[in-house]
Amino acid sequence: MSLAPRVVIAHRTTEYEELVAHHGTHGQAAFFLSSRGRDIEEVAERHRRTRRALADVTSAIPLTWRQSRVERADLDRFLFAPEDVVVVVGQDGLVANVAKYLDGQPVVGIDSDPGRNPGVLVRHRPASAGKLLRAAFASGTGADELTMVEAVADDTQRLLALNEVYLGAAGHQTARYRLGLDAGDARDADGGGVVEAQASSGVGDGMEGDALELTWGQTVRVGVCGRRLRLLG
């Protein structure tokens, strides 16, 4: 007997949760923000919207289906199955982050804070989750195939990203590079650069922890990855 479909909900810790975890209590977090001219209610309201979005998506999953959740910080340790459908609840940048760990699984982007996020990759509202999930498991459902890029160092280190990678120092230092194509043309460049697979609106999810550790004289090949992000439109 085949396994029931599995839906994986990807999300990230909210700013409110991070503040309370750091300062210990709601009151302490509120005092910290007020000392900097901010109101914790704004942060708390965004937290509540995210929780409601997660609850709406969860309730839209049929009772006979399997489901799992993964927080952004645990993505590199989570085992995605080939038959999964991944629902990303949050910002555009979270979709870009999740994409690095997938290999063809369909992705549904749910905007947890409409009007605040650009909605380039999180294109749908929580109320549409049920319809989108049924479509994801239906044969012949179309999806946008978005380009992934990979950077491979000469010591076999490998990094995947959605559309672009940054080559440069982690801080404000200036580095020197020699850029070349397979045809043999090369030129020198200073500073850091963004290598894009195609022109697109930029999305990010903050400073990423995954990076290639390079030393002087190393070579990195950057090109289009065989994997693509399958984003349900």
Instruction: Supply the pLDDT for residue 218.
Output: 85
Instruction: Supply the pLDDT for residue 3.
Output: 82
Domains of the chain: 6-13+44-142 (3.40.50), 145-226 (no CATH)
Q: What is the pLDDT of residues 185-232, one digit of tens each?
A: 655 555 555 555 544 444 444 445 677 888 888 888 888 998 999 999
Q: What is the pLDDT of residues 60-79, one digit of tens each?
A: 999 999 999 999 999 999 99
Instruction: Supply the pLDDT for residue 201.
Output: 43
Q: What is the pLDDT of residues 5-18, one digit of tens each?
A: 899 999 999 999 99
Spatial distance between the Cα atoms of 210 and 161, rounded to a whole number of angstroms? 10
